[in-house]
A and B are shown apart, each in its own frame.
Chain A
Amino acid sequence: MMDRVIAILPELNQAFLETLLMVSIALAVAILIGLPFGILLFVTDRGLFLENVVVKRIAGLIINLIRSVPFVILLVFLLPFTQFLLNTTIGPLAASVSLSVAAIPFYARIVESSARDIDKGVIEAAIAVGASPWMIIRSIILPEVKPGLITGLTITAISLIGYSAMAGTIGGGGIGDLAIRYGYYRYDNTIMFTTVIVLIVLVQLVQYLGDLVARVVSKR
């Protein structure tokens, strides 16, 4: 049994790196686009300093639209877009396109809800001191919400690891793809268990690191 695992090691190693690549790209996009989106949702809310019903509604609608499509369908739905963007629909890079699209609204909602936990008085005090909206976002909201951002990133990462397995089924590669190929098509339970163990370890590690960093940055 062990020798079968050893024989598969190079492939397992490559699959692991592919998963890591897909998830990392999607996470980076989540931070670059999802984070500002989440902050936008928060500051345009009622009673806040950039209150704007129209912007809030449109942003909320876009996010709900994407989030209401099940990921497997989103994968297929985005194939033409991926083809247009990368000229291919195969491989971890192609899979990261749909993962990113799913990660943006997911993370944006998490950012919005953790921003809502900020004491409104702190924002008010910043307004009273004559700070500009941009300063309030950069120097008050972002630092105050940092632990929440990190916890949210952990949740997003773990969800994305799960999604990446689905992306694997349509040629995205990664650990999920490996599990399906060996475990499902070839009835090789050993390889399937091995991939499951790798995934468990990966998720635990991400959660542990996320909690650790969130605790360190929290000054409450």
Chain B
Amino acid sequence: MIKLENITKKYTSKGKQIIGVDDVTLTVEAGEVFGIVGYSGAGKSTLLRCINLLEKPTSGKVFVDGVNLHKLSPKDLRKARQSIGMIFQGFHLVSSKTVYENVAFALRAAGADKKQIKQRVDELLALVGLEDRKHQYPAQLSGGQKQRVSIARALANQPKILLCDEATSALDPGTTKSILALLKKINKELGLTIVVITHEMEVVKEICSRCAVMQDGKVVEHGPTYDIFSDPANPLTLSFIQTVLSFDLPEELLGEINGKLVRLQFKGNIAADAVVSDMLQAFPIRGNILHGKVEYIQSKPLGIFVMELNGNEAEVNKAIAYLRDKVSKVEVFDDGSRNRHLA
């Protein structure tokens, strides 16, 4: 659906050359929700804006639906952009136009007539749940409502792709959830391919089937979201994962621990408590669960437990070997590493 080939974007700012995006090659499949994560300045926004050529890459090729966008005339590029919707962190609504007129503008840009526009705008406002705000101005709306208007505008010309540039970063957590639910719904019902860029791992966890992690203009890791969460390969990815799956044990508690500290990770539908209780029955040791959490990533559970194992050292080691056999990932923290993050 979207194919980015060796995209590089360089800028010159105050005489210095800055590399925004550094030789990125990515493919986004039709119908998927793809996330691009990174801290600010990682180049994710620039990369996203290359997809509809709002930003012209210094080198590299952009293919959307098999069409090389660079080869298009200005007129054909405008036509192509109509099939790529885009929403922004700052909403970017026209303050002098009502909700209706803001959405209608996109349709007029595509050359729709008055009757078509009226029907389509009503349809779109119903889809985003803003029928009753039709004649209000953006200044009269809340952040979440503004983003809904901009989603309606982005979807006006029945695009196949929706680009989301930090679309939820300016919203509170509750509103973020409702906007994400709306994006999920459009992805499912309209079969839209969605590319999301964000610095919030929560967003990725919630809606993205695959994601890429960016740093200094490069993609450092990419793959299915579940795999990224369960087996991050890059330290940066790990630090992003920790924002969602972090386990900080209080200092006081760590001081009182005299057994071995283990962190267990369960993938999928393995019954975590059954494995743990079997282990405790099979070996003469005591176990103490200090922390536990099951995260649903793309509706697939990922369980993480932190336990203290007490008893004869040989038995404890046997128990750990048993766990390694049953559980997808077991980490043992010796005394030295006990005080660091247990992620």
Q: A residues engaging B (CB < 8 A)?
A: 119, 121-122, 124-132, 135, 139-140, 143-144, 146, 217-220
Q: Which of B82, B90, B95, B96 contacts A129 (CB 8 A)?
A: B82
Say whether B86 contacts A128, CB under 8 Å: yes
- For this complex, 29 residue pairs linking A to B, each with C-beta atoms less than 8 Å apart, are A122-B93, A124-B54, A124-B88, A125-B86, A125-B93, A125-B153, A126-B105, A127-B54, A128-B52, A128-B163, A129-B85, A129-B156, A129-B157, A130-B78, A130-B81, A130-B106, A130-B109, A130-B157, A135-B108, A135-B109, A139-B94, A140-B105, A144-B95, A217-B96, A218-B96, A219-B96, A219-B97, A219-B139, A220-B139
Cα separation A144 to B150 with both chains bound (whole Å):
17
**Is residue B238 within 8 Å, beta carbon to beta carbon, of the partner chain?**
no
Say whether B109 contacts A129, CB under 8 Å: yes
Shortest distance from the beta carbon of B108 to any chain A beta carbon, whole Å: 7
Q: Which of B79, B81, B96, B137 contacts A144 (CB 8 A)?
A: B96
Contacts of A139 in B (CB 8 A): 94, 105, 108
Say whether B78 contacts A132, CB under 8 Å: yes
Task: Beyond the given A121-B92, A122-B93, A217-B96, please list 12 additional residue pairs across the A-B interface where CB-CB is below 8 A.
Answer: A126-B94, A126-B105, A129-B105, A129-B109, A130-B80, A130-B106, A131-B105, A131-B109, A143-B94, A144-B96, A146-B96, A220-B95
Name B145-185 residues within 8 Å CB distance of A. 150, 153-154, 156-157, 163
Shortest distance from the beta carbon of B14 to any chain A beta carbon, whole Å: 14
Shortest distance from the beta carbon of A209 to any chain B beta carbon, whole Å: 20
Cα separation A217 to B93 with both chains bound (whole Å):
17
Cα separation A32 to B82 with both chains bound (whole Å):
33
Q: Which of B79, B92, B110 contacts A122 (CB 8 A)?
A: B92
With A125-B150, A135-B108, A219-B137 known as contacts, the answer to whether A130 contacts B82 (CB < 8 A) is yes
Name B93-152 residues within 8 Å CB distance of A. 93-97, 105-106, 108-110, 137-139, 150
Against A, the Cβ 8 Å flags (1 = close, 0 = not) of B44-83 are 0000000010100000000000000000000000111110
**Is residue B228 within 8 Å, beta carbon to beta carbon, of the partner chain?**
no
With A131-B109, A219-B139 known as contacts, the answer to whether A125 contacts B92 (CB < 8 A) is yes
Closest to B136 in A: A219
> Which of B78, B108, B157 has the most chain A CB within a 10 Å cutoff?
B78
Shortest distance from the beta carbon of A145 to any chain B beta carbon, whole Å: 9
**Is residue B84 within 8 Å, beta carbon to beta carbon, of the partner chain?**
yes
Contacts of A140 in B (CB 8 A): 94, 105
Contacts of B163 in A (CB 8 A): 128
Say whether A132 contacts B93, CB under 8 Å: no
Say whether A128 contacts B94, CB under 8 Å: no
Contacts of A122 in B (CB 8 A): 92-95
Say whether B96 contacts A130, CB under 8 Å: no
Cα separation A135 to B106 with both chains bound (whole Å):
10
Contacts of A144 in B (CB 8 A): 94-96
Cα separation A179 to B96 with both chains bound (whole Å):
44
Contacts of A124 in B (CB 8 A): 54, 88, 92
List 4 tightest A-B contacts by C-beta distance, closest first.
A130-B82, A131-B109, A125-B92, A121-B92
Cα separation A121 to B153 with both chains bound (whole Å):
14
Contacts of B85 in A (CB 8 A): 128-129
Contacts of B156 in A (CB 8 A): 129
Shortest distance from the beta carbon of B248 to any chain A beta carbon, whole Å: 38
Closest to A120 in B: B92
Contacts of A218 in B (CB 8 A): 96
